[in-house]
Structure 1
Amino acid sequence: MQLRVSNPGRGPHSVIGPIAVNRAEPGNVLESRYQSIRPYEWGAVFNNPGSLGTGLLPQDYAQAQIKYVDLDLGAMTGRFLPNISIPLKPFQGILGVSPLDGYFPPVSPGVTNSVPPGPHASNLDLNELSEGSTLYIPVWKPGALIYTGDTHAVQRDGEISLAALETRLKELRIQVILNKQKNLAWPVAETDAHWIVIGLDKDLNVAMTLAERNAIKFLATRAKISELDAYALCSIAVSFRVTQVVDIVRGVHALIPKAIFAPDLRREMTVV
């Protein structure tokens, strides 16, 4: 609570970076591969006092709470209560680059607010971005200036109270590959099972519309099908989920299953 009050306009996150990427220029894409995410043996989930207006239901819960959870990294579970255990899936809530001008006003010259995600990725809170996944991020400024933080032991879609199971890491390894002149307008994630496209806006309805349009564009350009066919395919095969609703802008992500495409086509459907 004191961090929020003492640093108005700034995110409460612990962030590593920014780190410049050699030869990265606007119009490039960073291919960021999560190779290792190793947390410590504890985590915490919390809600702020209702008076701060954070989380989805500050009007319902005036009382703040911090709940600490022991993590069993062998079994990959967290002991929420003596008779409730949560499967763990560590991931970084934040991985981003310097944002494009005008998307959100800077806190001060050269200082970016870590709370709202955007076309520069940042605080996506997308729980699919665990070990083995890849996040493709458009570059908006020379050097890209990549940064990461907001470590989660687990979070499901929504992040309702404002917090995931927050923790810190013993080790984080991300391989960054620079793709020249690829021109993505929005971040795209990839796992073994899905391509994942994003929609973000303060209005959840608008975020949903953006996610749908981005999914249609992805399918039409990568699978070489018409936009009408892509529209229909989204309705019967693509899952749209609410990523988070607590970070100024709200997020929707569309999971496009790879398994529905013939192997030859699947191999051709690269993000970059």
Structure 2
Amino acid sequence: MRIHQLPVEVGRTATVGSFSGEQAPVLTVADGDEVVTGTLGLWAGRVRREHTLADILALRGQYAGGGPHTLTGPIAVDGARVGDALRVEIIRVRPGAHGYNLATPAGVSRGVLADRFPAGFLRHFDIDADRQVATSGALTIRTRPFPGFIAVAPQAPGPHGSVEPGPFGGNLDIAEMVAGTAIWLPVLREGGLLYVGDGHAAQGNGELNGTAIECDLDVLHLRVSLARSAWLRMPRVTTADEITTVGLGPTLEAAVQRATGDMADWLTTLGMTAEDAYVLCSVAGRMSVSQVVNRVVGVHLSVSRGELPGQGAQWR
């Protein structure tokens, strides 16, 4: 096992707004290697404490045509083949000292209460990574930093905008993807081609006004390993205590159905009957809304390992 250091530099190891399977790897690692890197905030990390909403809207306009996310990668995994899965374990996350929450004006906002705040607004946060708090005026928020974007290269030719998630992962915005979590991504291109970005110091489920506490991630320490012939249809998330499926769709109902279907299928591979799996999803599953602001609705369904046959030992 080797630990790689990957500096973040836009134009060399990071891109803004899009990702693809045609981009050359910025780093190649072996199965089980670790990568210590970071991410820049939205729009190449150019938002500063002194910026106003007007400043940020002008900055946003300079990156029209793609997403706002600054993506570190791609990182190739030697020997990763289509049909395998990348297991990306998040070992350590440390946010930068400055963050912000942005509600864009109603004409461009996807926030759920955009009509109540037609002019939009901006809140800057001071982040104390050691104390694990972020403050803005009267607000003091407990930080739980995580990368909102983790993806492999999509199967279809690119480039692909960074906003909409898909089977490849991407802008999932699952707030539980903190240190100690592993996300499993279906390999859709040789080498996998892993991208990470969209640093958040904290985010509520749903990301309801359109953004989290957006920030740089000064440290993002990952371990990347291969699961052969996993043939995943969608990303999965695991911790020491839970297994989680991801559902994406044009509506909440479609996303819920997909997350539930994937969990029911997963539970049957662990030894449950189809009926028992469906019952367990209903009586012990924990369904959460990941995000509703990325054009594609995201949910995730979690089941405690204590409810699983053999506690799902092969999915650690």
What TM-score results when the alignment is normalised by the length of structure 2? 0.78
Alignment match, 1:21: 77
Q: Percent identity?
A: 32
Aligned to 1:162: 210
Shift of 1:59: 2.8
DSSP-derived class of the 1:246 partner? coil
Q: Secondary structure at the match of 1:168?
A: strand
- Partner of 1:41: helix, strand, or coil? strand
* SS of structure 2 residue aligned to 1:122: strand
Q: Counterparts of 1:97-116 in structure 2 under 5 Å?
A: 97-101=152-156, 110-116=158-164
Distance in 1 (CA, whole Å) between partners of 2:95 and 2:109 is: 29
**TM-score with structure 1 length normalisation?**
0.90
Provide the alpha-carbon RMSD of the alignment. Answer: 1.7
Following the alignment from structure 2 to structure 1, what is the Cα–Cα distance between the partners of residues 313 and 179?
Answer: 22
Q: Does 1:127 align with 2:183?
A: no
Q: Does 1:244 align with 2:291?
A: yes
2:141 corresponds to? 86
SS across alignment from 2:306 = helix
| Kept in 2: contact 1:189–1:195 (CA 8 A) | yes
Match of 1:255 among 302, 305, 311: 302
Q: How far, CA to CA, are the matches of 2:112 and 2:70 in structure 1?
A: 22
**How many angstroms apart in 2 are the aligned matches of 1:269 and 1:118?**
27
Q: Which amino acid aligns with 1:60?
A: R
Q: Which moved more, 1:252-261 or 1:236-245?
A: 252-261
State how many pairs are aligned. 260
Give a deviation string over 1:151-180, Cα, whole Å, max 9, x none.
000111000111001111221111111222
**Aligned residue in 2 for 1:105:** none
Q: For residue 314 of structure 2, what is the aligned residue in structure 1?
A: 270
Distance 2:304 2:267 in 1: 11
4+ residue segments displaced more than 3 Å: 2-9
Q: 1:53-102 deviations in whole A, cap 9, x for unaligned?
A: 422233332112110111222221112333x321110000001011132x
Distance 1:167 1:7, change over 3 A: closer
CA distance in 2, matches of 1:179, 1:261: 20
User: Quick check: 1:46 aligned with 2:93?
Assistant: no
For the 8 Å contact 1:4–1:10, the answer to whether it is kept is no
**SS of equivalent to 1:93:** strand
Q: Which one-letter code corresponds to 2:261 in the other structure? A: R
- Offset from partner CA, 1:120-176 (integer Å, 9 cap, x none): 011110111101110000011112111110000011100011100111122111111
Q: Does 1:71 align with 2:127?
A: yes
